[in-house]
Chains A and B, each alone.
Chain A
Amino acid sequence: MSVVESRAQACLKPEDAALLEQTWSDPPGVRGWFSAINHKTISLRFMITTFVFFVLGGLLALAIRLQLAGPDGKVVGADMYNQLFTMHGSTMMFLFAVPVMQAVATYLVPLMIGARSVAFPRMNAFAYWIFTLGGMMLFIAFFLNVGPDAGWFAYVPLSSLQYSPTKRVDIWAQMITFTEMAGLMEAIVLITTILKMRAPGMTLNRMPLFVWTILATSFMVLFSMPAVMLASTALITDRLVNTQFFNPLKGGDALLWQHLFWFFGHPEVYMIFIPPLGMISSIVATFSRRPVVGYAAMVLAVIATAFFAFGLWVHHMFATNLPELGKTFFTAASLMIAIPTAIQIFCWIATLWTGRIHLRTPLLFVLAFFFILVAGGLTGLMLASVSLDTQLHDTHFVVAHLHYVLMGGAVFPLFGAFYYWFPKFTGRLLNESLGRWNFWLFFIGFNLTFFPMHVLGLQGMPRRVYTYPAAMEWGGLNLAATVGAFTIAVSVLLFIINVLRSRRHGEPAGADPWGAGTLEWSVPSPPPAANYEMVPVVHARDPLWEAPGLPSHVSGLANDYREILVTSVADARLDHRLWLPSSSLAPFVTALATSVLFVGSIFTPWAVVWAAIPVAIGATWWFWPKKDIVEQRTGSEVSPYDVEAES
């Protein structure tokens, strides 16, 4: 049989396709909405929720910029200002930057690896609910005037009970618990999906670079988030039951907080930065009409970056009285981590150089990365020097640096990714002309906002000041920054308009509007509930670009229950089939119960005890198998020992 004929065969009969769609769809109705566990459904909700937090964080930033637009600002008072910058930082870092990457990953990774689902769909749903409830708690607190006000990294002793006597810091600390729990669960989901559910033939060597970045990031999550969980737990217990972790009068140490927090905090920014590196690879390849230069080098660079990111944290503490020799080690590490990033940048430029360029909005956002992130990375090298850092630390120079790397390194590529994959999510293209307006306003607005802050920092303006005297002559640059911030706001508004309009009136996209090479572009847009009518067999890195191989698809997976294929870790050889659980209210209900536990423990330690009971009930209900489903499955069960016996 020829390849062409086999490709034609790779379609189910219409009645089977309809049954498959039915099997993997979310149930209807209100109850169905809360029971949904299809990874694409959860992921779209997750993306929208994180985007809502992005907009809220942006509005907080606009308030900050209004207050700082001129000297002796009277727009808000000191107390509100301190809440504003704390909420802005906390929202962007905990409720947007990492979660959005996990959200995008939980949509794209199964499609890119030829899988029908993520590995633990109910846990994926639970992670979404826990995240959303935690974010809601934070903002409800803010609107009730109990929003945190000690900065997004809440240094002790300022954040201890003595100097922050209200519940504000407790809200912040517990928000961490919510969001980090969600992040950790998503990491487990993604690692297991990537390692065990790749389509047959997709060896690690054939995995898209984006999937590699998600794998690396997810491992980083496992080892870094525990640090902030431990730190925030210790802060909560210091405040609630009088432990003395951070009290120097009773043997504690203020720097213990900083070590624990930044051991998480530094990898955190790389967790924000690495997935967009994968997005850039996807976009650069498609719009240069060639695979990215140096696949192996790119993979090793990502792994190296992920690894070395754990060795830099002390560079956030260069102004403390830690030993100077130790600090120099961290200077060296902070400089050397630029090498793997440099490898990636040079490989991308080489790809563009030797490619044939299709210049569209996704690529524009990626090109902005080369300008903005590179600038941010270079100011990072400046900050890596202890001596320079002693002038620049805790000034607006750092504010400039962090926005250049986070927005240049993550937000711009993310917008490019939205323009790139929106057609896949919705079946329609975003408007290209609006896209260009969106891009240029964002680019210009961004630089207008944050470039002046480098100068302001050098001119002596510290961070986190609610106002400044007119005599300092900082007003002009601050005004420019405020104008820039509103320009960014307009550009984001254009994006929202583009999304809303294009959902209904955008140009229909078809399966592969960009002529791309990876598997997600082989399915309809939007993908059917089961992603693939027939799971593909992979023979190349860019299956849609390279010559197809045989066998081309998998047959024999059930259409009437949620059956997936489990393959081996390195070579994606067939291993076994697995039936995934069906939709359930349990993840949502358990998330509610868990939220009661977390919120309750802000007020009393006993909440941990009594609120654990409904959590245990919810989790047990979640796990407990249903008799009729089990009977159905035992009917067609195949034990690994039966298969061994036969072979």
Chain B
Amino acid sequence: MSVSKNDKPVDALLDVKGLPTFGFGHRSPMWWGTMGLVAIESTVFALAIMAYFYLRSHAAAWPQTGQPPDLLWGTLNTAIMMGSMIPNHFAKRAAERMDLPRVRLWMVVCMLVSIAFLAVRVLEFKTLNTHWDSSAYGSIVWMLMGLHTTHLITDAYDSLVLTVLMFTGPLEGKRFVDVSENAGYWYFVVLSWIPIYAVIYWGARI
């Protein structure tokens, strides 16, 4: 059994010394970990959205109390978040090219944008036109907003830590994978907002 199918001799041992010591995208275990988190959080959002429509199907009037949320800040923030995907995309690309200066640049841009959408998020809360304890409608709207905002905050914090690390070091190749994965998660946080936005802002108007 010391020959292979095409009659070349096969080594007894498989040498891996030459393999890379990190990998991008789905080759990286970190990608799978991030995807696992995305699966979990998507399920949470999906179930919360279903709960919204479930409660609505049992309601005589919807909203049960208050008015639908004002459209201004939510729509603006949707635009800001969608916009944040641009520096995010460039940060991801730079990371996959292991281009440190560009990674630093685009991550700082991302952080600035995140200040903007966090600030506008506060304004969104102020103009939801309902309170969490006034009815089940108010509760589910605040829950949806609260769940997503938690993701915005934790994602902003993760990104902040990475951004600082990109400037202070110590750095190694694996960190570029982390930046790339963090950007992937950022995509998720932004894209998952779209159905939530639709439900919160338009679910009581249609």
Nearest Cβ distance between residue A602 and chain B, in whole angstroms?
18
Tell whether, in the assembled complex, residue B20 and residue A188 are in contact, meaning their CB atoms are under 8 Å apart.
no
Which of B27, B55, B136, B157 makes the CB contact (< 8 A) with A566?
A: B27
Q: Assess whether A274 is interfacial by the CB under 8 Å rule.
A: no
Pairwise interchain contact A222-B16, C-beta atoms closer than 8 A: no
Q: Which residue of A lies closest to B48 (CB)?
A: A230
Shortest beta-carbon distance, A106 to chain B, in Å?
A: 15
**Are B47 and A578 interface neighbours, CB within 8 A?**
no
A440 to chain B, nearest CB (A): 43
Q: Which of B73-93 contact A (CB under 8 A)?
A: none
For A120, give its contact among B19, B29, B175 (CB under 8 Å). B29
Given A230-B48, A640-B23, CB of A625 within 8 Å of CB of B170 = yes
| B33: contacting residue among A188, A259, A263, CB under 8 A | A188
Contact pick for A554, options B13, B29, B132, B142, CB 8 Å: B13
Asked whether A244 lies within 8 Å of B54 as measured between CB atoms, the reply is no
Chain A contact-residue range equals 35 or more
The answer to whether the Cβ of A364 comes within 8 Å of any Cβ in the partner chain is: no
Min distance, Cβ B153 to any Cβ of chain A, angstroms: 9
B185 to chain A: closest CB distance in Å?
13
Q: Are B12 and A191 in contact (CB under 8 A)?
A: no
Contacts of A196 in B (CB 8 A): 29, 32
- What's the count of A-B pairs with C-beta under 8 Å? 224
| Contact indicator A230/B51 (Cβ below 8 Å) | yes
B-side contacts of A637, CB under 8 Å: 21-22, 172-173
A25 within 8 A of B: no
Q: Does A574 contact B (CB under 8 A)?
A: yes
Measured CB to CB, the nearest residue on chain B to A575 is B27
Known: A120-B29, A566-B29, A642-B20. A187 touches B36 (CB 8 A): yes
B8 vs chain A, min Cβ distance (A)? 11
Query: With a CB–CB cut-off of 8 A, which chain B residues contact A247?
Result: 136
Known A-B contacts A551-B13, A641-B98; the reply to A241 vs B132 at CB < 8 A is yes
- Closest partner residue, chain B, to A552 (CB atom): B12
List 25 A-B residue pairs with CB atoms under 8 Å apart, sorted by A's residue number: A6-B13, A188-B32, A197-B29, A226-B43, A241-B132, A243-B138, A245-B139, A250-B136, A551-B10, A551-B11, A551-B14, A555-B16, A555-B17, A556-B15, A565-B16, A566-B29, A574-B14, A575-B19, A578-B21, A578-B29, A627-B170, A631-B170, A633-B172, A638-B19, A638-B21
Which A residues form the contact surface with B (CB < 8 A)?
A: 1-3, 5-6, 9-10, 119-120, 123, 184, 187-188, 191-192, 195-197, 200, 222-223, 225-227, 229-230, 233-234, 237-238, 241-245, 247, 250-253, 256, 259-260, 263, 534, 537, 547-557, 565-566, 568-569, 574-579, 616, 620, 623-627, 630-631, 633-634, 636-643
**Leading 4 A-B pairs by shortest Cβ distance:** A6-B12, A556-B17, A243-B139, A251-B136
Given contacts A119-B32, A578-B21, A638-B18, list 15 more A-B pairs with CB under 8 A: A3-B2, A188-B37, A196-B32, A223-B39, A225-B40, A243-B132, A251-B64, A537-B14, A555-B17, A556-B18, A578-B174, A625-B175, A630-B171, A639-B98, A640-B27
